């Protein structure tokens, strides 16, 4: 059976792409952010996953406000990085894993998650930048399955529903007749608001509590409605739903192997966590 080696959760901000392109990793503004990653890269070299399931929200590159699936999943042999207008370089294409895509689609729909299946899909900064942070040479050693969550156009899925989706993804992978090693990556958050009167809003206390509880008591966050989360973490802080799903995929006791938190990167509180089964 396939094995989930762990979950990595992290922020995605387009300006990370410019910082990589300009080689600013040691610049005082960027250093505390980039310095979080070497332990996770070392861990990846050790556990050698074959496939990355990427849980993220699309920002208008692939889905726009006219058509916004709550939950969508890629089933394509390849996913292209395209220009979103941020002025950041695009990346080499990402290979898909069609077998895992279709296994997940079958299992999740049987579990009553009505996924939108996408046999053609472009991937945005929320997918590409985490890949480039984890594998800076951009020679992707993993095949991928993108899973897109609507964190953009209201109404959004509840936190509880997202946690359950993560559990179903975890169960499906562990039951997959394959010897593949799978890493789950959830991207977005933590607290940030890009627009309106509260633009620039960050809530460090809540973010740190969320990171702690995500490991030891993942149901803690399900007490909050989406509206509560907008108030507590900002309109784009709700991207933390992607972290909740990535955590939900881990079954049994979970350990935090590494974390980093730094304020701000652009308008965002930047968080990073590596979790694995005990």
Just list the catalytic residues: 125, 192
- Between 98 and 194, whose beta carbon lies closer to ligand DHB? 194
To the nearest whole angstrom, how small is the minimum distance from the Cβ of residue 128 to ligand DHB?
A: 12
Q: Work out which of 13, 173, 269, 273 binds ligand DHB, going by CB under 6 A.
A: 13
To the nearest whole angstrom, how small is the minimum distance from the Cβ of residue 134 to ligand DHB?
A: 17
- Between 17 and 170, whose beta carbon lies closer to ligand DHB? 17
Q: Work out which of 49, 51, 59, 180 binds ligand DHB, going by CB under 6 A.
A: 59
User: Where would I find the beta strands (DSSP E) of the chain?
Assistant: 3-10, 51-56, 71-74, 78-81, 94-95, 116-118, 122-123, 143-149, 181-187, 254-265, 268-277
Contact 159, 222 (CB under 8 A): yes
- Between 50 and 84, whose beta carbon lies closer to ligand DHB? 84
Q: What is residue 169's three-state secondary structure?
A: helix
For ligand DHB, the binding residues in 186-215 under the rule CB under 6 A are 188, 192, 194
- The span from the first CA to the last CA of the chain, in angstroms, equals 18
Q: Work out which of 55, 122, 267, 273 binds ligand DHB, going by CB under 6 A.
A: 267
Q: Work out which of 236, 242, 259, 260 binds ligand DHB, going by CB under 6 A.
A: 236
To the nearest whole angstrom, how small is the minimum distance from the Cβ of residue 109 to ligand DHB?
A: 28
Count of residues in the chain: 278
Joined tokens for residue 5: 């080696």
- Between 96 and 189, whose beta carbon lies closer to ligand DHB? 189
The CA angle 149-160-204, to the nearest 5 degrees, is: 80
What sign does the CA torsion over 75, 78, 81, 82 have? negative
Q: Work out which of 4, 7, 8, 12 binds ligand DHB, going by CB under 6 A.
A: 12
- Between 151 and 259, whose beta carbon lies closer to ligand DHB? 151
For residue 53, CA distances in Å to 39, 100, 193, 232 come to 20, 9, 26, 28
194 Cβ neighbours under 8 A, 6+ residues apart: 235, 236, 267
To the nearest whole angstrom, how small is the minimum distance from the Cβ of residue 124 to ligand DHB?
A: 8
Residue 14 interacts with ligand DHB (CB under 6 A): yes or no = yes
Q: Work out which of 9, 167, 203, 268 binds ligand DHB, going by CB under 6 A.
A: 268
Size of the site for ligand DHB (CB under 6 A): 12
To the nearest whole angstrom, how small is the minimum distance from the Cβ of residue 263 to ligand DHB?
A: 11
What residues make contact with ligand DHB under the rule CB under 6 A? 12-14, 59, 188, 192, 194, 236, 239, 266-268
């Amino acid at each position: 059976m396939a094995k989930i080696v762990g979950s990595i959760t992290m922020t995605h901000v387009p300006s990370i792409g410019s910082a990589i392109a300009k080689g600013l990793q040691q610049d005082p503004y960027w250093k505390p952010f980039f310095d979080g990653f070497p332990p996770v890269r070392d861990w990846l070299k050790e556990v050698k996953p074959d496939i990355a399931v990427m849980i993220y929200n699309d920002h208008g590159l692939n889905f726009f406000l006219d058509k916004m699936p709550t939950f969508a999943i890629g089933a394509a042999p390849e996913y292209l990085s395209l220009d979103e207008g941020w002025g950041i370089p695009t990346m080499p294409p990402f290979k898909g894993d069609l077998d895992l895509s279709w296994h997940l689609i079958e299992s999740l729909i049987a579990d009553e998650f009505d996924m939108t299946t996408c046999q053609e899909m472009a991937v945005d900064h929320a997918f590409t930048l985490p890949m480039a942070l984890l594998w800076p040479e951009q020679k992707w050693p993993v095949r991928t399955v993108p899973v897109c969550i609507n964190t953009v156009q209201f109404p959004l899925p509840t936190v509880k529903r997202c946690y359950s989706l993560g559990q179903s993804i975890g169960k499906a992978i562990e039951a997959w007749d394959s010897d593949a090693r799978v890493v789950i990556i959830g991207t977005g958050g933590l607290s940030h608001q890009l627009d309106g009167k509260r633009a620039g809003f960050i809530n460090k206390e809540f973010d740190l509590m969320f990171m702690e509880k995500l490991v030891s008591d993942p149901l803690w966050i399900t007490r909050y409605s989406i509206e509560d989360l907008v108030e507590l973490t900002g309109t784009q802080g709700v991207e933390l739903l992607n972290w909740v799903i990535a955590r939900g995929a881990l079954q049994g006791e979970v350990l935090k192997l590494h974390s980093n938190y730094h304020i701000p990167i652009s308008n965002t509180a930047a968080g990073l966590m590596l979790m694995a089964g005990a």
